[in-house]
Every structure is written in C-alpha cells, then in structure tokens.
Amino acid sequence: MARKAKSFSKDVECHMNMTPMIDVVFQLLIFFILVTELQSRDFEKLTLPKAEEAKSDINVPQGRTTINVMKNGDVVIMGNTLTLERLGEVLRAMAEFKMDEEGHSEKIILIRGDREVDYVHVQDVMEKCVQNNIYKISFAAKRSDNEDT
C-alpha cells in the first residue's frame, strides 16, 4: 500500500525559543564578573620586591590563599585586615580542612609582602603558617617594573 507524502504548507514558520539560551548567557556573565572581582580582591595594592629568578604565576593552584603584608605590617586576606592571633585561627581552620598522612596541611599559601615592609612582619606570617602545619608557601615578587609574579 503506497503512502501519500504529507505536504507541508509554505506558510508554517519554525522558531527556536532563545529564552533559555539568553538565561544561560546572563548566568555565565554574572559568574565571570563575580569570579574576577573575588580574584582581584586577593591582591592588595602594594609594591612587590624584585627578584631576578622570579617565575610567572601562570598555573594558579586551586584553593590557594593569598596573604598580603602591607608596608605598615598589616596582614590582609581578601580585603580583611587581621591581627596575628586571628591569622593563626584562620590558618588553623584552613589547615585542618585537608591533611596528608603525615599530618601536614595540603593548603597552599602565597605571601605578598610590600617591598618596604620590615622582614619581621613577613617572618611572623611564615611562623603562623608553620605553627599550623602549612608548609606549601610561596612568595610573590616581580621580575621587572611591569610584571607582577
């Protein structure tokens, strides 16, 4: 038995609903704006010391915390100025989140110290890290006048 081919009228229009696609685009836009803002909050305005062997910070480890040591010795994390005691409490909480078999924290810390800060303030931050079993510490420096590392 032969079937008749259905004929479609040329007046039928086919439309794609773009509303879900627009919603997704706006969600992505909001996400990237927030992530960019939070990432820039980690870095306070300070003058980094120069280092000949500084390497570019291309592959940022996930979950790395940045500690800024300002020119006057203040310790700033994500825009919040902390005392050394409070810094110790914050680092203790971070360290306990993930430990390896030897009891060392898997937490990664980046210390950004101003070029003019007294070394004792950077040393205090390093001691707080070690007291809380955080040993994955790196330091920020710049190789030239226009490159932050």
Tens digits of residue pLDDT in 8-38: 566 667 778 878 888 888 888 888 777 765 5
Domain ranges of the chain: 16-54+62-149
Q: What is the pLDDT of residue 69?
A: 92
Per-residue pLDDT tens for 58-74? 777 777 888 999 889 89
- Spacing of C-alpha 75 from chain mean position: 17
H helix or E strand, kind and range, residue 123: helix 119-131
Virtual torsion, Cα 36, 39, 43, 48, nearest 10 deg: -90
Element (H, E) at 19: helix 19-41
- CA distance to 24, 62, 89, 124, 145, per residue, from 149 (Å): 34, 17, 28, 22, 11
**Per the structure block, which two tokens stand in for 24?**
């997704």
